[in-house]
């Protein structure tokens, strides 16, 4: 079976790899590139632990082929922190105890960061809907919602200050 040469920009850096057609994007990240922040929690595209941004849009990387990502941009949890500064969503999860075992957390944060990029002031119902493809067993979702709200408030702040 043919191998494919692919080039994927991950967290702003170009990565080249030679991959089988069937290699899942999540395995490209975890196995080929040793970026283990993205996790695997199921085999039927339900749990969302594998969520990454593909061209800015959150998708389940276990149900995308690495070859489909050729020439495209991927953002993983490792790319949330920029220049030593945590993304508001990361800080939100820490401040509001939005994580316990941490396994679903990368996926949750990626999904939530995408939500806040398009909806800066989501209601609780909108947050619940946005994360309905990400399963958590530890937190009961209550503090995850608070974490997203915390991040939303933090992200809105500069504009609000300027508006005064």
Partner 1 sequence: MATTTLRTSPEVCGMGHSMKRKEDPRFIRGQGHYVDDIKLPGMLHMDIVRSPYAHAKILAIHTEKALAIPGVLAVITGETLKTYGLHWMPTLMSDTQMVLPVEKVMYQSQEVAAVIATDRYIAADGVDAVEVEYEPLPVVVDPRKALEPGAPVLRTDKEGKKDNHIWHWETGDRAATEKAFAEAEVKVKQDIYIPRIHVASIETCGCVADFNKTDTHLTVYMTTQAPHAIRTVIALVAGHVGLSEEKIRVVSPDLGGGFGGKVPVYPGYVIAIAASVVIGKPIKWVEDRMENLQADSFARDYHMTAELAAKKDGTMTALRITTLADHGYADAAANPSKYPAGLFSICTGSYDIKTAFTEMDAAYTNKPPGGVAYRCSFRVTEAVHAIERVTDVLAQELKMDPAELRFKNFIRPDQFPYKSALGWEYDSGNYKAALEMAMAGVGYAELRKEQAEKRAKGELMGIGICSFTEIVGAGPSREFDILGIKMFDSAEIRIHPTGKAIARFGTKSQGQGHETTYAQIVAEELGIPAAHIQVEEGDTDTAPYGLGTYASRSTPTAGAAAAVAARKIRDKAKKIAAYLLEVSEDDLVWEVGKFSVKGAPQKSKTIQELAFAAYTNHPPGMEAGLEAVDYYDPPNLTFPFGSYICVVDIDRGTGEVKVRRFLAIDDCGNIINPMIVDGQIHGGLSMGLAPALFEEISYDESGNNSAGSFMDYLVPTAMETPSWETGKTVTPCPHHPLGAKGVGESATVGAPPAIVNAVVDALAHLGVRHIEIPMTPEKVWNILKEKGVAE
Partner 2 sequence: MIPASFDYHSPQTLEEALTFLQSHSDDAKVLSGGQSLLPLLKLRLGSAGHLVDIGRIPGLEYIKEEGGVLKIGGRTRESALEHSELIQTKYPLLAQTAAVIADPLVRNMATVGGNLAHGDPANDHPATMLALRAEVVATGPSGTRTIPIDQFFLGLFSTALAADEILTEIRIPVPPAHSGGSYVKLERKVGDFATAASAVQLTLGAGGEVASVGIGLTNAGSTPLRAADAEQFLTGKQPSADVIAEAARRASAIATPSADRRGAIEYKRQMARVLTGRALKAAIDWAKEH
Binding site for partner 1 (CB under 8 A): 20, 22-23, 27, 30-31, 34-44, 46-47, 49, 76-78, 80-81, 86, 90, 93-95, 97, 99-106, 109, 124, 127-129, 131-145
- DSSP 3-state of 27: helix
Using CB under 8 A, count the residues that bind partner 2: 32
Determine if 129 is a binding residue for partner 2 (CB under 8 A).
Answer: yes
Q: Are 54 and 110 in contact (CB under 8 A)?
A: no
d(Cα 28, Cα 25) in Å, to the nearest integer? 5
Q: 52 vs 151, which CB is nearer to partner 2?
A: 52
Burial 66-96 (b: 16+ CB within 10 A, else e): bbebeebbbbbbebbeeeeeebbbbebbeeb
Instruction: List residues bridging with 59 in a β-sheet.
Output: 52
Determine if 132 is a binding residue for partner 2 (CB under 8 A).
Answer: yes
User: Which positions lie near partner 2, rule CB under 8 A?
Assistant: 1-2, 4, 20-22, 24, 40, 43-46, 48, 51, 54, 57-60, 62-65, 67-68, 70, 111, 129-130, 132-134
């Amino acid at each position: 079976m043919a191998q494919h040469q692919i080039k994927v920009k991950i967290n702003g850096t170009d990565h080249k790899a030679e991959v089988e057609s069937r290699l899942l994007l999540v395995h490209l990240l975890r196995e080929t590139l040793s970026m283990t922040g993205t996790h695997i929690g199921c085999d039927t595209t339900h749990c969302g632990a594998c969520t990454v941004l593909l061209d800015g849009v959150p998708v389940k990387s276990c149900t995308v082929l690495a070859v489909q990502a050729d020439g495209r941009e991927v953002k993983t949890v490792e790319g949330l922190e920029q220049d030593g500064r945590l993304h508001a969503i990361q800080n939100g999860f820490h401040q509001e105890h939005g994580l316990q075992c941490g396994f679903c957390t990368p996926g949750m944060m990626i999904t939530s960061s995408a939500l806040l990029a398009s909806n800066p002031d989501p209601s609780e119902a909108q947050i619940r809907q946005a994360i309905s493809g990400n399963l958590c067993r530890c937190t009961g979702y209550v503090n995850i919602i608070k974490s997203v709200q915390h991040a939303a408030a933090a992200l809105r702040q500069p504009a609000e200050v300027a508006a005064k």
